[in-house]
A = this chain, B = another copy of it.
Amino acid sequence: RSPSPGRREDEDDLARRCSTFMTSPVTDLHELRRRPEDMKTKMELLIMETQAQVCRALAQVDGVADFSVDRWERKEGGGGITCVLQDGRVFEKAGVSVSVVHGNLSEDAAKQMRSRGKVLKMKDGKLPFTAMGVSSVIHPKNPHAPTMHFNYRYFEVEEVDGNKHWWFGGGCDLSPTYLNQEDAVHFHRTLKEACDQHGPDIYPKFKKWCDDYFHIVHRGERRGIGGIFFDDLNSPSKEEAFHLVQTCAKAVVPSYIPIVRKHCDDSFTPQEKMWQQLRRGRYVEFNLLYDRGTKFGLFTPGSRIESILMSLPLTARWEYMHSPPENSKEAEILKVLRNPRDWVH
């Protein structure tokens, strides 16, 4: 049922779709046209689309600053498009980055995969791979507007015998400076409704996975109030897994934008700004000490450092022995970070 490549109307269709992106896709349009039904094409179009949707919604909320669009190439194969809005009216730093890279996985990277349960047969110490994804961290200025992170990614590797493996990963989570019950419920409910379209067990599983993953172990705190997280998703089928990822990616804007719009002009005290800066410090601790994506990126040859570290806040603070007073609003959110809560049932 797939249309034969090169037909005029399909070309127009693809061109029309690409015209809504922040810039043209990483992969050449001829190549995308050549393989319309390949998951690599579908996923690249989805991540480009998600990038554009999120950037446009954020720029509209900000009202003043706009995104810079940087296209970069990786000499080992592939490249990416990094969009950053810095020091705007509403946002301190908002980054939405797409990358589509391919080449050969190193022995070390392949070993990492084996430890996650996959045994892959390499040829001459090499393993051809394609990795693509959209990744974003949004840090608003107002301490009552939470930080949000999301990432959706797709991986393919080919073993020496031609055996192909694929999987999806991703998630979306919220890191508020202060607890707002209504916001937490809205965020989780939107994500749950997206997951529920694909089965009743998905949200509970991904919600717990998120709480477990974003754990600042040495502090005994979560990075935020969670959301969803998953990895190694390769069932029930490639198409169905893709549709789940697609639904989740579409939920980013409705889960977050109403919250940031609601709070971006809230009044706040210098003390509240200070507490936000301390929480930013914790965010940095998680990203540099624990986040697998950040470390994988930083230690992979040819990766673009500025795109990986765009996740770090513009400013952060560390105070020795800071401890908020009992029954304060600061103590309230700490309690939730130490004991993750269920927000929707």
Contacts and interface: CB of A to CB of B under 8 A. Distances in A.
Interface string A301-316: 0000110011011111
Nearest to A311: B318
Interface string A158-198: 00000000000000000000000000000000000000000
A317 interface: yes
A320 B310 contact: yes
A70 to B, nearest CB: 7
A75 interface: no
A70 B317 CA distance: 21
Interface in A256-299: 277, 281, 284-285, 288-289, 295, 298-299
A68 B322 CA distance: 13
A219 interface: yes
The main secondary structure of chain A at its interface with chain B is mixed
Nearest to A316: B316
Nearest to A218: B298
Contacts of A86: 319-320
A336 to B, nearest CB: 20
B318 A314 contact: yes
Contacts of A281: 312
A95 interface: yes
Contact-residue bracket for chain A? 20 to 34
Contacts of A284: 284, 288, 316
A84 interface: yes
A316 B315 contact: yes
Contact of A314 (B298, B299, B319, B321): B319
A149 interface: no
Contact of A84 (B70, B277, B320): B320
A315 B317 contact: yes
A309 B317 CA distance: 12
Contacts of A316: 284, 315-318
Nearest to A95: B320
Nearest to A277: B315
A93 interface: yes
A135 to B, nearest CB: 14
A71 B230 CA distance: 43
A284 B318 CA distance: 10
A312 B318 CA distance: 7
10 contacts: A93-B318, A93-B320, A281-B312, A284-B288, A285-B309, A309-B318, A313-B318, A315-B315, A316-B316, A316-B318
Please give me the 5 A-B residue pairs with the lowest Cβ-Cβ distance, nearest first: A288-B288, A312-B318, A218-B298, A84-B320, A315-B317
